[in-house]
Structures are given as C-alpha cells and as structure tokens.
Structure 1
Amino acid sequence: MASDEKVINDRYAQQLLTRLTEWSSYKERIQAEHQIMPRPARHASVMDEVQALLPPGITQLYTHQHEALTRALDGEHVTIATATASGKTYAMALPSRVRRHRQQGATLLCIAPTRALIQQWQERLQAWDADLRVDVYTGDTPQTERAAIRTRAQAVITTPDMLHMGLLPYHRSWSSFLSRLQDVIVDESHMYRGVFGSHVALILRRLKRVLALHDVQPTFIFGSATIGNPEDHAIQLIGQDVSAITENGAPSGGRLTLLWQPPDAQSYIEEAAGLLAFFITQGVRSILFGQARQTVERMVRYTRNKLPSYLQSKVLAYRAGYTPEQRREIERQLAQGEILGIISTSALEVGIDVGDLDVSIVAGFPGSISSFWQQAGRAGRRNRSALSIFVLREDALDQYFAANPSMLLDQPAERALVNINNPYIFPQHLLCAAFEQPLSLADQRLFGAATAHTLEQLVAEKRLVRRGDYYHLRDPRKSVAFQVSLRQVGVRIPIMSLSSGGKERLLEETDIYHAISECHPGAIYYSQGAAYEVQRLDLSQGRIEVLPNETHFYTEPIVQTDVEIIKSEQHQQRPQLELYSGQVLVTREVQGFNRKHNQYRNILEQCELEEPLSAPLETRALWMLIEDRFIDALIKRRLDPAGSLHAVEHGMIALLPLFVLGDRRDVGGVSIVPFHPQTRKATIFIYDGYPGGIGYSEEAYRQWHALAQATLDTLRKCECTSGCYACIMSPKCGNQNRPLDKTGAIYLLECLLEGDK
C-alpha cells in the first residue's frame, strides 16, 4: 500500500549471484534456478471516507486490500492469503478502522500466535490511530491491570492461549467489550494446523458461542501465508463460510531462487554459514534460517569465524529460549538496519518486521513448501529483486527436490489440516465450553455431529451432569481451561532438574508419548543446549527427575512397535494392492537404548531397561496389504522382504510433507513381515503421531499414488548402493535403521505401481 512506487531493479539478484560466483567456484553447486518476475502495483480507487482513515503516509489501497475491505464491510468473513510483505496487516485492520468511524464505541479483538507479533500489532494500531486505546492481554499482563483492561478495552490483542484461559472462561466480566465487538482479526492463521490448529478451531467456536450470548456476530478476518486451501482452512477454523482473497495487488521486485548442493566434504550448515558470511562482507543485509535451535547457534559460530573481527558483532541469532527483552532488542536492531546478518529458526518466518533484506538462505527444507516460501520471502523489496538460496541437506526430501526442482519451485503449497473431533482434544473443549455456559444439543451447529455422543460420554464419566436439556459441569466453580494445554495432547509431565544440594527446579514439561522415548532412565535429555541424565521416570506420579551431566555420548531408544486395527473406515482396491484407512491402536514399547558417540555416532553400548516402557496411542493410519506373490518374488531375487517393506515405509514418510502441510516427525510407521495377525498379509502402516490423529495419514491415503511414485523416483535417482539418509534411512527409526533393503524397496514399489493411475 503506497502512493509512489520506485522503478524496479529486476537485475539486482542476478548481480548478487554474479558477485558470488566470481568470488568462488560456487556456480557448480547450483542445482536449479527459478525466476519470479517483478510485478507492478495494482491499485483500487478509494472512497473519500476511507481515504481520510488510511495510515499516515498511505494514500492508496492495493486491489486485494480494497477487496478485503469491501467484503468485510458487507459482513463477509474473509481470509487474505497473499505473499509476505503484501500489506496484510493494514488490510486486516482497515475494516475495523472504518467501522469505528461509522459506529462509535465499536471494539476490535486481534489474535496473534506470538508475543513479538502482538507487540508489532500494538505499535502499528496505536501509530495509526492515536485516539484508539490498544491493550495487550497475555500471560505477561500484570494481574493489577487486568480488571481495568476489561472495562476500558477498545482494541485487545491476545494469544490463542490467553483467549482460551483468560478471556472466554470469564466472558461475563468482559461484557462491555464483547457486546460492542465488530471485528475479530486472526493473524498468521496458517500456523493453526495439526494439533495446535485443532485446539484453536475449537477455541474460535467457543468464542463464537460466547459472542452469541452477548448478542453480537462480528466479522472474522484471517491473514494467512500462501497455503493450498486458504478458504477451506478458514472454514475449518470457525465452522462458517469464509471467502478467500488470493490475488496480490502489491508490487514485487521479483525473486531469483537457487537450489544449492554443498560438496561432499562440507556439511550443509557450514555451507550456509559460508554463504551468509560472504554476503555480510559485501554489505548485503541477509537472513539465514535453520531448522532447530542448536543448529542456529552452531551457524552463528561458523559465520562469525569466517568474518573479520569488526563484522562479527553484525551477526545475531533469533530463536525461542531468549528472554523477551533480548528478543525485543534484536527485533529493534533488525528493523532499524543495525545488523547485517540474522540467523533464525522459524520464529522469524511469520510477519515480524525484519526491515529491508536482500538475501534469504534456507538451510534444510523446513517441513513444507508453504514454510519454504515464507522463509524465502522474508528477503525482498518492492523496488528491487531478491536472492533466495535453498541449501540442501543429505536428506531424502531435500535430495528429491535436487532431482525434481519443479516439485518445490512450481508446485502449489500444501493443504493445512485440522481435526476438531480429535477424541483427545474435543471433549476437553466441550468441558471448557460448559464452564462458560451450560451446553445443549443445539451446540452441534458449532461443534459438529460428534457433540451428542461426546456429551453423553462425559456424563458417563461423571464430568458433566445432565439437567433437562442442558449439560453442566459437575463442579461449575472452577475453570477447566487451565488443565488443557494447546501445544501438546494429554497430561503434562514436569521434568525436574535436581542439584547436588537436593534443590530442584522445573526444567520443562512433556507428555507421556515423548516421556517414554526421550525420558526413560539413563536417557540423555537436552534443554537449552545443556545435557541432563534422566534418573527417574514415574508415570504413576507424573514426574521425571534429571541431573545435569555433560557426556561424550547421546542416547537413542530401542523401540518395538505393534499396531492393532480398531476400525477400517476407507478401502481402495488398487491394481496391485489393497489400501485401507481408519482407526488403530499403536503401542510403542521402549525396551532399551543405545549410547552413541557425540562426534562419530557409533554405538558405544547397548543398554536394557529393567522394565520396558510403553504407552498406547489411539490414532489414525493408512495401511497397505502386500500380496504373498510379491513377498515370494522378493525372496526369489534374494532380496529381504522385511528390509524392503521397511525401506518403503521410511521413504514414503520422508516425502509425505510434499503432500500435506506437516512434518515427518509428526508421523510414524511400522512394517510387518511375514503377516499382520489381523490382515493375514505383510502390511505397511503409516500413522499420525498424535492421539486421535490430525489428518496426515488420511491425506496420504487420498494421494497414495503420487506419494508412492515420488518415493520410487527418489530411490531410483539416489546414487548410493544400499541406502543412505538421502533416500531410505531415518534419523528417528526406533530399530536403528535395520533391516533396510533399497533394491528390494525399488522392486516392490515398481510392482505396486504397475497398472496404477
């Protein structure tokens, strides 16, 4: 949104690449180039009333901003799914600004997923309208200020967590604010997917229910990154029609994107750090994304080591774990251009103002095409082109993109999935809703067809009491929202750090499923870069005790996984196999663990647990029945059937993020040879790694052919002979990547895909 666009320099990115290739023989490392052409601004005419209400220095609206304003003022719920730096913040906020002008006293609720975004929203809204009282309401808001905010609030900015725990349960004390609410902004809504998104969808439904009690029906305005299903995803979040705006009217200087293959002797994080150091020495402001906290810290060290001393202070890291004060100071330096290089986790993927950057480097695939373009898009100016470099890991999915760059660069973003009827999440939010106002069967309109059965189940469990047509909490005096964590499923287990003097402190919290695999006795557990050895895991008391212990080894669990089919819900008879989808019970039993050398990663010692640990996981899965003739053919060719199925399982899980907006770490699998006791055939299972499921396996079921074909292509093109981390090995395999048979997996996939379309 601007009145005066400068001439676009669409050659700038190519000039940066020329500098780089002249400095070194790096050109041979480029696997692919992708050019997005510059785009001029497209403006819409604006009414005089709106013209007077635009932010300072702004005189025009882009077409997508004008369309969002028009639809929202007409009462439509809207999701704005346009690229980074397209002016979504003002597009989301403008309808409320106009409505306040027309209707004195109208209020605004803004929901953002991170504290940094909340601060940015407060600053922008306040700068836009000095007469508007903008209050932040989060867990950091002092208790002494909360009552005053509830009575004076005009615009409130909060997190989903605080909406869930601090506003909805006490909505009656917010009646003055809620009864005048005209607009609800849901920023960065693409982040609300999977388990977190399922929680948020139910919270937004609870919000709509509470607002109906206050006799208001505000307009919901979503701001989303580019995802494959923006309209459908927003509908999932509020259970009501939403119109999507995806045509971007903002200008862009264009983008040159490179796929970059490090040489064999160089790790991808050292390569990425070297690229960042080069651009810093050239005075080019750049951002580098790593996919884990410790990876980011290592890249900071590598980058500084490659820089002269006077430039080392111009490189900073940004990630969760720093204090709010530290993060605010880094954000300030970024926005004001005081630093040349920033290295971040996905924490800077969302719309925090990072100032003008010219180069973005993505070290390792971030888990989804949508996230990749979000990270790449953090560099770029409206008047000149940007350079983005994707540094490839030795990983099956990264190397798939190296061989098939169009599958990353030319494909639409994945679909974001939520599941409001997850049986481990849904009942908890019905209990929260019952505290806010007793439930009835009429609430099925908001919460879906599973409501009636779940309400009766909660009555049978004596958590609700039915009185006439209404369902009440058995103890209505205490909010249950504090018992429901949005970031994980199930009961939280504290991890207590013990000191030699007997004192203890809360280190972190986890859930039972992570506890048995990461916090068994003898496990080495890392937190904020420090190592701890687990002394005790007491599941009956819900307690984990650890001692600080810096060791030369780390631990990996030895896991035996069993799958019981509870219910088959979908079935496909494909030419060469039967494919099913449905409910399963997964039991992962940790029988022991390996101690592995920190540097060399070889096994130093194998240890057995005195008592194996297990936790049943009721979830959703797809399963493939492999005909006996294919097992016989593998044996005849002297290939290992168990290793072949295991390799197919690994390969398909590794490439699943191609087809669903998720992470391979959220998916599990097991292969059973010679036969599964229920199917009576050799079977491959791929299951969601969360109780109740979150839709990943169902999407894999729906797109089975494309997923299997992509897996086969990856295995064929990988140059290794017996399997590697670029094709069939998995860093999370509970069986230490044994057995695996790459040749057998290729043969099996060829058989399964024969005649398949």
Structure 2
Amino acid sequence: MAQHEQTSNERYAHQLLARLTEWSTYTERIKAQHQIAPSAARYTLVNDEIRPLLPPDIENLYTHQYEALRAALGHEHVTIATATASGKTYAMALPSRVRRHRQPGATLLCVAPTRALIQQWQERLSSWDPALRVEVYTGDTPQAERAAIRQRAQAVITTPDMLHMGLLPYHRSWAGFLSRLQDVIVDESHMYRGVFGSHVALILRRLKRVLALHNAQPSFIFGSATIGNPEDHAVQLIGDDVSAITANGAPAGGRLTLLWQPPDDSGYVEEAAGLLAFFITQGVRSILFGQARQTVERMVRLTRSMLPSYLQMKVLAYRAGYTVEQRREIEDQLARGEILGIISTSALEVGIDVGDLDVSIVAGFPGSISSFWQQAGRAGRRNRSALSIFVLREDALDQYFAAHPSMLLDQPAERALVNINNPYIFPRHLLCAAYEQPLSLADQHLFGPATAQTLARLVEERELVQHGNRYYLRNTRQSVAFQVSLRQVGERLSIMSATTGSRERRIEETDIHHAISECHPGAIYYSQGVSYEVQQLDLAQKRIDVRPHETAFYTEPIIQTDVQIQEVEQHQHLPRLHLYSGRVLVTREVQGFLRRHNRYRTILEQCELEEPLSAPLETRALWMLIDNALIEELISARRDPAGALHAVEHGMIALLPLFVLGDRRDVGGVSVVPYHPQTRAATIFIYDGYPGGIGYSEEAFRQWSALAQATLETLRTCSCAEGCYACIMSPKCGNQNRPLDKAGAIYLLNALLYKKSTSH
C-alpha cells in the first residue's frame, strides 16, 4: 500500500469528524475523544500439512489463530477473546478441519446462541469444506429429518436450548456422532452469564458427562468478546482448565471514539437519529444501536423523516420479533452493501456479518463496557479507521461516563459471572442428568461440592431414588429437560390474549416475580410493540389474561419491599459502617399502581389493588449498616436520613454495571430508617433480582469502596440541585423516587469512604 494511501486511511475517521463541523456546533457536544491507533497484522507461518486446509485466499494464520490451533490440537480447552472482526470463526473451526484431515471420521459440534449465527456457521463451514456434511439441529428442524441427521451428520450446529432438550436426553441415539466427537465450539460465550449462563454451564457439564459415556474427550473451543475474566469464565462454564488467548494478531485500521452529549432541547434518541441521517446523506455506511425494541422503531421513523425520499428505504431496522425470512433478507442486504443505515438492538452486537461499515453510533449505554465495545466495533475495516459515537442519555451511568470518560474508554471490561450452584437452577439440572444416566457422588467433580447435599435433598423430596451409591430418577416416562426453562427461574406463567371469537393465544411466558410487578390487574403490558391491558392474574392457574388496548399512558407498580436476613456469609467492618453479604428473603408487595402519561411521564391517576400481591424471593444481598452517630449527624445537618440512604441505594445500583457484567434491571434495593428489625441500625440492602442470587451482590461487596466512590463522584458532578434521572432517580423505583436527598447522600458517602477496614 502506498504511504499516502495508508495515511489517508488512518485519518479517515478524522475526516468524517471534520464533516460534522460543517453540520453542527459539535464542539459543545463532544465530551471526550479517544483514539485507538491502527495495528499491523502479525502472522505465524504454517507448515505444508496445514496450508491446504486454510480457507480460500489465506496462506498463513494470525498469531492468535495459530495459538488456538496449537492448543486445541494439543487437546487443551481454549477460549479466544479477541476483538470484533479478528477472524475468531476460522480460529475456532480450523482445529476440527485439521483433525478431520488426520481422522476422516472425526465430528464437530457447534453451539451458537442465535438463529442468525447458526445460519452463518452453516454457510461458512459448508463453503470452506464442501465435502463436510453440515447439519442444523434446532427446534425448527422437522421431526421427520431428525433421525437422518443423527445418522449422517459430520458437523452439527445447535443452540444451548436444543442441546439441553433435544440432544442430551436422547444421547444414545447420537452414539455414533458423539463417540467420534473431537471438537466442541461454543460461540459468543460471553453471552452465557447470569441466569442464562448458569444454565449453559450446567448443560456443558452434562455434555461432558455424556461424552465420557461414549468415550469421547473433545477439545472445547470458546469464542468470546473481550470480558474481564475470559479464562475464569470459560472455566466456570465447563469446570475444567482452559487456556485463554487474548493477544490479537489481526490488523485493525484504528478507531476514533466520541462521547456525544445532546443539547438540552434534544433527547438522545433524536440526536442519534440525526447523526445517522447526516452520515447517510454523506454516503457513509453506518450502524446505530438502540437499547430497546421500541426505541429502535422510533429511531427508524425519525431518521427517515430527516432524509430525502430516495434515501428513506436505505435505512432499515433489525431486531428480535421479525420473522426469520425478514431478518434473513436484511442480513443479505447488509452483506451485499445495499443498505446505507441499519438500526438495531443488541441482535447485531454478536458476530453476524454486517459488511464494511465506517461509522457506529451507540444510543445510550448498553449495560456493560464489553457490550459497548462490541457495538462500537461493528464498524471498521482492516485498512481504514472507523468513527464511533456514544450518544449519552440523561442517566446516572451515562452521565458518569461524561464526567469520567476514562472509566469507559480506558478501563478493562467487566467480569462475567455464573453460579452453577444456584439452588433454583442446580437441582433441576441434576434431575436432567439423572435422566441421561443415573448419578453418583463421583459426579461431584463435574457439578461441584454442593452435589452430595443436593442429591440427598432430592431423595427426601422423592424426585430421586437411591440404590447403593447410585441415584435414579423416580419418574422416567418423560425427559425432565422440557420442564426447565433456560431463560427464567422459578414458576412460569402464561400470558394469554383473547383473539377473534372465543379463541385465545399465548403471547409470552413470564416468571412469578415479574408477573407480580408487571402483570397485576390494570397493568399495561407491551409485547412485540402491541399494548395490552391485564385483566386477571391467576397465580393458582399460572396464567395471566390480557386484552389488546392502546392507551396514552403506561403503568408503574407501587411496591413495599421487606428484607429478612437468613444467613451472613461475609462481613467487613469499617469505622462508620458494617458491610455484609449473604442470603436473604425479599418480599415485594404490590399495593397499587400509577398511570403515567406516555410522553411527559406525569402522574394521571393512582390506583389501589383490591388485594395486594406478593411473592417471596430467596436470594443474596449486600447490606450496609450505618453508624447511629452518623444518622444523628445527618439530622443535625438538616438532611433527611431516609432520603439520603434511598439516594445512595439508587446511585450504587445505577453504577453497578461498572463493576460486573450484568444488567442493573436484575438488581433491587431497599433502605430502612430509623432501623431494620434484625440489624437494629439504619440499613441499605442491594439484592440480586433472581431466586438464589447470581453473584452481583457478592461482586458489589468485593468492590464496595470503588462503587461508593463512583457514586459519590456522580452525585458531586451532576449539575442538578436536588436529584434527577442523571444521578439518583430511578425509573423502576417502587416508591416513586420518594424520599430522595442528594445533599444527604453526598454527606453520607463522604463520611463512609477512605477508611481502613478489617475482614471476618
């Protein structure tokens, strides 16, 4: 490449930024700029055996691809955590290609989380090796074809759900395929975190157990986005040693990232749509990420309204809810370069081929630093720099990044957490495993130290029968896997909508805890963009009756939360604070609800339920006992202790995604003043919103000082006088953000920080 061409490519992102200067008073909107320098490719030469097996037009491997191949062929488990567009797909697939060359009967299993990725894997494996019989095995696979697939497949691509329900329970029918299995690819493994990840970890351990029955010991090869603990996370998923490959050998054209603050008279949605419309008029192919389905649809409408008619259909949306055919057509148009602007939820965050894009716009923080860089990284070419723009919301976390951009742009990605011994998930998978093959205490090496105690409890509950040192499923007539949902825990309720005549259809399922707060009588519930009003919630029949109903308002529950401490697991003592974590019982009682205006969020009406609704939630929490003298100081300073503790609770929950790869919507909190009946002190609780807990509160305990410091800085730097949605207000607060005392929270956090501690 000529020197002047290389320089031009490296400066391309700055040239795009220069065009913005002609369009807007951009200098007031850019809160920070961050430059990632371009990097050259680093190759490793391959030998004469490997070179003919590489994809067309590829003669050598990037260093990380070669390291993955070397480790996998050495029978190691591997996780490849490198940047977007670094060739992870080929790195994961190449070991199997080499092994089939050496052992023609070797088979491959590939697990991917979405239909689009499954389609992409099928196309790439088939085009790379036309002689390979590649089969897709999902819930959409016709029953009539499944037996033939089991017999003929050399490579099977499936989802975690189908591996759980359609393959493992019937592994004996797959004996030929499984006994020759040499490689298991687990793509986009960073998505397997929280409740879903805990299910997948247990499924992969069940898979290892079944494979041992068929005398197979394949290498597991994980492909992951950049996360803070790639090696540890992969170890959690399979319960075995894993080699992490994180040094990227692929070339990159560099990236210029902007933090963009909309002006006061423009919302972030309008601002992001305006930026996309500008680049489309410039002929620059771009992608815009929204964080919710309805936000994406709104941005499509806004963007098109700013474009001349001949460009309007060059902008399309992509999200869950569309038919397979619709999404496939959009994917094809993207790959062919026919679309100038695509607006997507996180559905395009993972590795679907989007073609060559030059600009990425992220509207609102997507919940984690890892996801942010995944979305930003969807634009960029190997030989030309890309421009990424993060459009900030009026939100505590977004505004924290505006004040502290290095906390987003220079920090390592968060840690991904799973908890295989979650008491609401673990026993169900042991029952699934018992259906596949009777259990014994020897299985503890796969399922962990809680195995013996859980097996004994399942015997007491008459789910298992013990004969000698073996544990058998009492009822073997039907696979237990069909009763275990990977997406939720606890009881499941069907949401039923009446249709034409007397017929009805199930529109969704939910769990009991979400049903209590979102599906009480009178609630407005949204599904696939349609508005429904809840008519009845029947907990006994596990069903929710709704009817389509378009309204000018939405509803918010009024919730009273009570927390009962069950067991202290960790304790840390600071001079003015006792910090604990452990097991708790949370009871959230929905007493009524508010109707709020869709646009202005003003309260239109407050309604009471005829009978309050509640459901107990056994989970894990962090709790903070505030020194009584400090409460007295707050009162003397004319601050409201209840408002101060409530504001600290909101602020810490909002900033928790800085420290853990999770969703703050899955975390709850409550503050108690003047004292909690068990602690006998003013107390703040932050708890996991899933039965059994998922690890968020334990991580908050471990990083409490950093979390408290970040919260204090956010409150100090926010320009509001008494608190706003950019610092201490929460849209999910069951007490309607009352009381809140911002100044009191600042006083409280100042008094608690910077002290030495002792641990117990």
Q: Provide the TM-score with structure 1 as the length reference.
A: 0.99
State the AA in 2 paired with 1:141: T
CA–CA distance in 2 between the matches of 1:176 and 1:600?
62
2:697 matched residue in structure 1? 697
CA positional deviation for 1:28? 1.7
Superposition pairs for residues 134-149 of structure 1, below 5 Å? 134-149=134-149
Aligned to 1:542: 542
State the distance in 1 between where 2:612 and 2:399 align.
37
The answer to whether residue 602 in structure 2 is matched with residue 602 in structure 1 is: yes
Deviation at 1:22? 1.6
Determine the structure 2 residue equivalent to 1:355.
355
Residues 1:105 and 2:105 aligned together: yes
Partner of 2:370: 370
Preserved CA contact (<8 Å) 1:576 1:754:
no
Residue 685 (structure 1) aligns with: 685
Separation (CA, whole Å) in 2 of partners of 1:519 and 1:541: 14
The Cα shift of 1:60 comes to 1.4
Check if 1:637 corresponds to 2:637.
yes
Deviation, 1:754, is: 4.2
Q: Which deviations, in whole Å up to 9, do the C-alpha atoms of 1:59-103 show, x marking residues without a partner?
A: 110000001000110111000000000000000000000000001
Q: List aligned pairs for 1:471-550, cutoff 5 A.
A: 471-499=471-499, 501-550=501-550
How far is 1:462 from its partner?
Answer: 0.8
Specify the alignment match of 2:26 in structure 1.
26
Q: Distance in 2 between matches of 1:715 and 1:457?
A: 48
Q: Distance in 1 between matches of 2:616 and 2:327?
A: 39
Helix, strand or coil for the counterpart of 2:427? helix
The letter for the 2-side match of 1:684 is I
Is the 2:652–2:707 Cα contact (8 Å) retained in structure 1? yes
- Is residue 2:72 matched to residue 1:72? yes
CA distance in 2, matches of 1:94, 1:499: 51
Deviation at 1:500, TM superposition (A): 6.5
Alpha-carbon distance in 2 for matches of 1:440, 1:400: 51
> Per-residue deviation at 1:501?
2.8
Q: Partner letter of residue 369 of structure 2? A: I
1:589 corresponds in structure 2 to: 589
Q: Which amino acid aligns with 1:474?
A: R
The 5 Å alignment of 1:144-543 reads 144-499=144-499, 501-543=501-543
Structure 1 residue 575: Cα displacement: 2.7
In structure 1, the gaps of 5 or more residues are 1-5
Letter in 2 for 1:323: T
Which AA in structure 2 matches 1:233?
H
In 2, Cα distance between the equivalents of 1:683 and 1:279? 51
1:673 matched residue in structure 2: 673
- Aligned partner letter, 1:717: T
Encode CA deviations 1:585-609: one digit per residue, 9 max, x unaligned.
Answer: 0000000001111122111111111
| Secondary structure at the counterpart of residue 466 of structure 1 | strand
CA–CA separation in structure 1 for the residues paired with 2:46 and 2:27: 48
- Cα deviation code 1:646-703 (max 9, x no counterpart): 0000000000000000111010000000000110000000000000101000000000
3-state SS, counterpart of residue 353 of structure 1: coil
Tell me by how many angstroms 1:104 deviates.
1.3
Q: Per-residue CA shift, 1:545-602, capped at 9, x if unaligned?
A: 0011111211100000000000000000123211001000000000000111112211
Report the Cα distance in structure 1 between the residues aligned to 2:44 and 2:84, rounded to whole angstroms.
20
Residue number in structure 2 paired with 1:3: none
The Cα RMSD (Å) is 1.0
SS of the residue 1:678 aligns to: coil
Q: Retained in 1: the 8 A contact 2:576–2:630?
A: no
Q: Distance in 1 between matches of 2:756 and 2:345?
A: 40
CA distance in 1, matches of 2:600, 2:702: 41
CA distances 1:529-556 after superposition (whole Å, capped 9, x unpaired): 1111111000011010001111121110
Q: Which amino acid aligns with 2:721?
A: T
Q: How far did residue 755 of structure 1 move? A: 2.6
Q: Secondary structure at the match of 2:10?
A: coil
How far off is 1:26 after superposition?
1.7
**C-alpha distance in 2, partners of 1:334/1:604?**
44
Matched residue, 1:82:
82
**What letter matches 2:212 in structure 1?**
A
Q: Matches of 1:613 and 1:362 in 2, distance apart?
A: 38
Which residue of 1 is the match for residue 63 of structure 2?
63
The alignment partner of 1:508 has SS state of: strand
Change (3 A) 1:50 1:7: farther
**Aligned equivalents of 2:675 and 2:754: distance in 1?**
22
Q: What secondary structure sits across from 2:660 in the alignment?
A: coil
For 1:600, the aligned partner's letter is Y
SS of the residue 2:297 aligns to: helix
1:706 aligns with 2:710: no
Offset from partner CA, 1:457-503 (integer Å, 9 cap, x none): 11111111111111111111210101100011122211000146322
Deviations 1:141-186 (A, max 9, x none): 0001000000111000000000000000000000000000000000
Gaps in structure 2 of 5+ consecutive residues: none
Q: Secondary structure at the match of 2:50?
A: helix
Return the alpha-carbon distance in structure 2 between the equivalents of residues 119 and 593 of structure 1.
Answer: 44
Structure 2 distance, partners of 1:255, 1:499, is 51
Identical positions, percent: 82
- For residues 112-127 of structure 1, the aligned pairs below 5 Å read 112-127=112-127
Alignment check: 8 A CA contact 1:110 1:185 kept: yes
SS at match of 1:49: coil
Q: Which residue of 2 aligns with 1:575?
A: 575
Provide the C-alpha distance between the structure 1 equivalents of 2:213 and 2:67, rounded to a whole number of angstroms.
31
- 2:650 maps to what in 1? 650
Greater alpha carbon shift after TM alignment, 483-492 vs 36-45: 483-492
Which residue does 1:617 correspond to in 2?
A: 617
In the alignment, the residues of structure 2 paired with residue 424 and residue 514 of structure 1 have an alpha-carbon distance, to the nearest angstrom, of 16
Partners of 1:194 and 1:600 in 2: how far apart? 34
Distance (whole Å) between structure 1 residues aligned to residue 344 and residue 407 of structure 2: 25
- 3-state SS of paired residue (2:661): coil
CA–CA separation in structure 2 for the residues paired with 1:16 and 1:405: 21
Asked whether the equivalents of residues 705 and 756 of structure 1 are also in contact (C-alpha less than 8 Å), the reply is: no
Paired residues, number: 753
The code of the aligned residue for 2:485 comes to: S
Corresponding position of 1:725? 725
Secondary structure of residue in 1 paired with 2:22:
helix
TM-score relative to the length of structure 2: 0.98
Which whole-Å CA distance do the structure 2 matches of 1:599 and 1:653 have between them?
25
For 2:609, give the aligned amino acid: L
Could you tell me whether the CA contact under 8 Å between 1:576 and 1:753 is conserved in 2? no
Distance 1:72 1:588, change over 3 A: same
Residue type of the partner of 2:189? Answer: S
Which amino acid in the other structure matches residue 636 of structure 1?
S
The answer to whether the 8 Å contact 1:562/1:588 transfers is yes
Structure 2 counterpart of 1:737, one-letter code: N
Amino acid at match of 2:720: C
Q: For the Cα contact (< 8 Å) 2:253–2:386, is it kept in 1?
A: yes
SS at match of 1:674: coil
Q: Distance in 1 between matches of 2:444 and 2:684?
A: 37
- For residue 715 of structure 1, what is the aligned residue in structure 2? 715
Cα distance in 1, alignment partners of residues 304 and 404 from structure 2: 34
> In structure 2, what is the Cα distance between the partners aligned to 1:756 and 1:538?
52
Deviation at 1:106, TM superposition (A): 0.1
Contact preservation (8 Å) 1:575, 1:754: no
Q: What is the CA–CA distance in structure 2 between the aligned matches of 1:161 and 1:356, rounded to whole Å? A: 32
Corresponding letter in the other structure for 2:404: N
